[in-house]
Amino acid sequence: MTLLSRTVALATLVASAAASADGTFEIGAGYSPDEGFIGRARIAQSNLFGSGTSLSLSADVSLLATRGDLNYTIPNLGDTGLDVGVDLIAARRTFPGFDRESVGGALTLGHQLDRATRMFVRYRIEDVALTPDPTAFAARTTTDRFAAHRLAWLGSGLAYNTLDSPIPLRGTRLELTAEASGPEIGSDYQLLRFGARADHAMDLGPLTLRLHGHATYIHTDDPAGVPLSERLFHDGYADVRGYPIYSIGSRFGENLEALGRAELELPVWRRAGLSIAGFYDVGLRYNEDASYGPIAGAVYRSVGGSLIWRSPIGPLRFDVAFPLDGKDRDRAFLLNIGAGF
């Protein structure tokens, strides 16, 4: 069964359950300079059959990715303060030289410590299939690196969030996650994955200062290195503005990335939600798996300016970015609809 047919089947199931006063249906669209137009649909039932549980289906489609997610959540299980979430996920993503398709699920046990802070433990498992582009990789390369496999992860995380909007004017977000994968929990690979994210927005007189940083590190003791399906690739505008998606780093990706940006915003017409901003972005990519190429890293930076409109239907921003590293340093004009900072 294809990913599209799975998504349609799930949509039919949820639509029949959501036909009540507690049901919602949402359709949205956005635009990214890397992925083109992005469509999103979500149908949800917040009080399934009067049980207090929720059921939802969301689907996202762009030129590079397709994802369908069916979620069932039980809040405050047995008056313990714990919530339980079950997800069934089907996804497809195009990377340089290959497509990654996966089908799987996740079980999450979470606890809301206060209004802004949540901790969770999660187990997720997926079957992964990679389809190589024969014009990009030699036949001998595809034998091992593109073999179908199963990945299972057991991890935990802590999240704190007081940001006031997608392009925040004030607030803080901190997230930490750690996951382990191995045969003991049903995986074909032994891996460790660590992630961190930080955002902060504050007033500086008439200006707003925004800071963002995130980092991901994936490690394995296997001489073959981190599997291709889990390696980290440059995500274009979302990482360092001015460098198109997959334009920096290795065609096999890396196993460490660290990215940051700083932005100063000045309102020019508060009533209409119009502002101008200047920004500085920086990204580090590093490969430590010798089987994928040299053990080395590189830093990429850009500067630029933005026009931001917080419109009634969502944020819109127009950026002009000037790359400071690499051979191609032509300025880039970027339009983004619906995305945050």
pLDDT of 56-71, one tens digit each?
A: 999 999 999 999 999 9
% of the chain beyond a pLDDT of 90: 68
With a cut of 90, say whether residue 291 has pLDDT above it: no
Q: Could you say which of 2.40.160.50, 3.90.1010.10, 2.60.40.1080, 3.40.50.300 is the CATH number of the domain covering 96-337?
A: 2.40.160.50
- pLDDT, tens only, 82-139: 999 999 999 999 999 899 999 999 999 999 999 999 999 999 999 999 999 887 766 5
- The whole-chain average pLDDT of the chain stands at 89
Provide the whole-model pTM.
0.87
DSSP 223: T
User: What are the extents of the domains in the chain?
Assistant: 96-337
Phi and psi angles of residue 195, each rounded to the nearest 5 degrees, phi first: -140, 150
Q: What is the pLDDT of residue 141?
A: 54
Phi and psi angles of residue 19, each rounded to the nearest 5 degrees, phi first: -80, 70
Per the listing, tokens 């809301």 go with 112
Is residue 89 within 8 Å of 68, Cβ to Cβ?
A: yes
> What's the number of CA atoms in the CB half-sphere (13 Å) around residue 289?
25
Buried b (16+ CB within 10 A) or exposed e, 185-194: eebbbebbbe
Q: What is the pLDDT of residue 18?
A: 38
